[in-house]
Structure 1
Amino acid sequence: MALMRRRLHQLLEDSSDSEEEYEYYYPRRRPRWIKERADYFDTYDDVDFVIHFRLTKESAMAILALIEQELEFFTDRNEAVSPMSQLLLTLRFYATGGDQLSLADFSGVSKSTAHRIIHRVSCAIAALRPAYIRMPNSPQAILDAQMAFYGISRFPKAIGAMDCTHVRIRSPGGDEAERFRNRKGYFSLNVQAICSAKMEFTDIVARWPGSTHDSSIFNNCNQRASFEQGAYGDSVLLVDAGYACRTYLMPPLSVTRTPQENLFNESQIRSRNVVERLFGCWKRRFPILAVGMNVKLENTFPIIVATAVLHNILRRAGDEMPMDDPRLQLRAPWEDLLAEGEANGNQVQAGAQNQGRVRRTLIDEYFQSLIQ
């Protein structure tokens, strides 16, 4: 360092080009430019607000009230970004999946600021998970969940419907990147979800590579341990044919031969359809889940959980599904879901024979009684 200073002094004294060489060693900082920030909450009418941010102004205010403490700055110096502007920037990211430079221009901030805001707000929303995504935790709550599923197609004891869906991500790079390439050829996370009869998330696991089979995710999650320990009594989960039949997992029959078996399959499929519709609504409201997330792998996890939390909040608030933005060319979410269902149906696993006794008893006793 001292040698460099002596060199600079010598240049200043001896060289006619000293100013140019000084600029080379100590370049001037770019002048600070404060971009103009639009107040979209006030300038957009109700229709445009929903199209751009995928929820109503009332819902945006309700969500802001839950996380505002995490977004406030201690001072207004340096043109601090308001909590509402931070929330709207993040919602716009969820609604488009656009690059952060475009979002920064949209919100009147720098690209680095947009990056920090998106992940700050996502973590704040994801932290609400224990309050908004949870399994029934009391006898009355379990009974209410079972009655809600019974009301769909008279399937007894069902506490939830479970399935997995792929969320697009960019290649994580490194030696393990190919683990994230799913059977359809793109990089993804295989996200497991359990939902209620009201199409709300009650559990979500969003950390497994796209090549992981659905049953492997369940075998290594906390909910499997909870069911095996009897935390939910004799309740069952409705699943597709990609899962093995267990005392607490109810997949459909691959082949039906009797009227009661046909009735079992019809009731099971109609009741389980709620999780397929959940995935469709979730990806339609937050298109980033379908178009893909161009962020680092570790930053995708809170974004997925945050959108699931927002889905539950908006469902409980009665926020209607917004119209699709015509500027986004999206593949219909249900097309991916149908492809996933077909693939899972072709990978039926042979569970232990004794695990199917609960299903057989249910068919021979309960569903037999319905057709008599």
Structure 2
Amino acid sequence: MRAIACLKRNFIKMPNDEDLIATRQGFCDIARFPKCIGAIDCTHIKLQSPGGPYAETYRNRKGLFSLNVQVVGDSKCSIRNIVTRWPGSSHDSNIFRNSRLRSDFEDGQFEDNLLVGYSDYAIKSYLITSLSNPQTSAENLFNEAQIRTRNPIERLFGIWKRRFPILALGIRLNIEKVEAVIVACAVLHNIAIQMNDGDPISNNDKIEAAIIFTNNVNNGVINRNNNHGLNDNIWHALITQYFANLL
């Protein structure tokens, strides 16, 4: 398990010079959203109680013990980045704010490329969320494109948890071992995609219910960290430059 997890650097990596153009094109082909190199979201992996003085930090908003795992996926549902160390009570935006990935974007490592995410995240020049109340035809077109472009991360979570049901049904191991299990499953998932293994199909109602439940733990959480002036400028620039011209 740990040996497979140690292959993370070989199989889980953000797009670089070799595949950056192909990754952008993969997202562009979905809904013509520009410069996107990843869709970001978090999903909960259920645990047994870790015990100890900090056990309650692992209890999520639905009352279960979990890790809140941040994932960036591409248009092919491969995992490009994963963060597995945060307890279930952690908010998605806080995980991203404290991640190495955010620092890399802030430092300009990915130039003008960007991520798409849910409104749980504060909008940045490199992380684009949808508009909460679109008014014009261009704004509606932007929203539709943003939502369709981020859809692969939803599919990724479903495929990943069907391929490895332990991620949906829960990991009953020592907390020290859980991270290695999750990362190993991510590595094997990417290998399966590279080998054209196909999407796993599950007829197990218990697994399907667990996938839906754990993927929706964060529903209803409202992000209050937005800077509306900055948001308006970022949205306006994208909509004016790309989507108004498509009408």
The TM-score, its normalising length taken from structure 2, stands at 0.94
Q: Which residue of structure 2 lines up, in the alignment, with residue 350 of structure 1?
A: 226
In structure 2, the partner of 1:270 is: 148
Q: Distance in 1 between matches of 2:20 and 2:149?
A: 16
Q: Quote the residue 1:324 is aligned against.
A: 202
Counterpart contact for 2:157–2:215, Cα < 8 Å: no
Contact 1:142 1:232 in 2 (8 A): no
Measured in 1, the distance between the counterparts of 2:200 and 2:111 equals 38
Shift in CA distance, 207/259, structure 1 to aligned 2, threshold 3 Å? same
1:290 aligns with 2:175: no
The number of aligned residues is 247
Instruction: Letter of the 1:127 partner, please give it.
Output: C
Quickly say closer, same or farther: Cα 1:337–1:155, change in 2 above 3 A. farther
In 1, Cα distance between equivalents of 2:135 and 2:27: 25
Matches of 2:130 and 2:238, distance apart in 1: 12
Deviations along 1:204-232, one digit per CA (max 9) or x if unpaired, are 00010000000000011101010011111
Q: What corresponds to 1:248 in structure 2?
A: 126
Specify the structure having the higher radius of gyration (Cα): 1
Q: How big is the shift at 1:332?
A: 2.9
Q: Secondary structure at the match of 2:86?
A: strand
| Aligned match of 2:213 | 336
> Residue type of the partner of 1:363?
I
Aligned to 1:169: 47
Q: Which residue of 2 is the match for residue 310 of structure 1?
A: 188
Q: Which has the higher helix share?
A: 1
Instruction: Supply the distance in 1 between the matched residues of 2:215 and 2:179 (Cα, whole angstroms).
Output: 24
Q: Is the 8 A contact 2:168 2:211 kept in 1?
A: no
Q: Which structure 1 segments of 5+ residues have no match?
A: 1-121
Paired residue for 1:185, among 51, 63, 80?
Answer: 63
Is the 2:70–2:84 contact (alpha carbons within 8 Å) kept by the matching residues of 1? Answer: yes
Q: Which runs of 5 or more structure 2 residues have no equivalent in the other structure?
A: none
**TM-score w.r.t. length of structure 1:** 0.64
Cα distance between partner residues in 1 of 2:181 and 2:152: 23
1:201 maps to which of 79, 86, 90 = 79
- Pairwise CA distance, 1:150: 0.3
Distance in 2 (alpha carbons) for counterparts of 1:294 and 1:149 = 36
CA distance in 2 between counterparts of 1:158 and 1:358 reads 15
Runs in 1 of length 4+ with deviation above 4 angstroms? none
CA contact (8 A) 2:61 2:217 kept: no
Asked if the contact 1:160–1:195 (Cα under 8 Å) also holds between the matched residues in 2, the reply is yes
Matched, 1:359 2:235: yes
Q: Which amino acid aligns with 1:313?
A: I
SS in 1 for 2:132: coil
Map 1:116-265 → 2, pairs under 5 A: 122-138=1-17, 140-265=18-143
Structure 1 residues 202 and 136, CA gap change in structure 2 (3 angstroms)? same
Q: Please tell me whether the aligned partners of residues 283 and 333 of structure 1 are also in contact (alpha carbons under 8 angstroms).
A: no
CA distance in 1, matches of 2:63, 2:34: 38
Q: Which has the higher contact order (CA 8 A, sep 6+)?
A: 2
Give yes or no for the alignment of 1:369 onto 2:245. Answer: yes
Paired AA for residue 27 in structure 2: F
Q: Percent identity?
A: 44
Deviations 1:23-49 (A, max 9, x none): xxxxxxxxxxxxxxxxxxxxxxxxxxx
Q: Which amino acid aligns with 1:245?
A: I
Distance 1:257 1:141 in 2: 36
Deviation at 1:360, TM superposition (A): 1.3
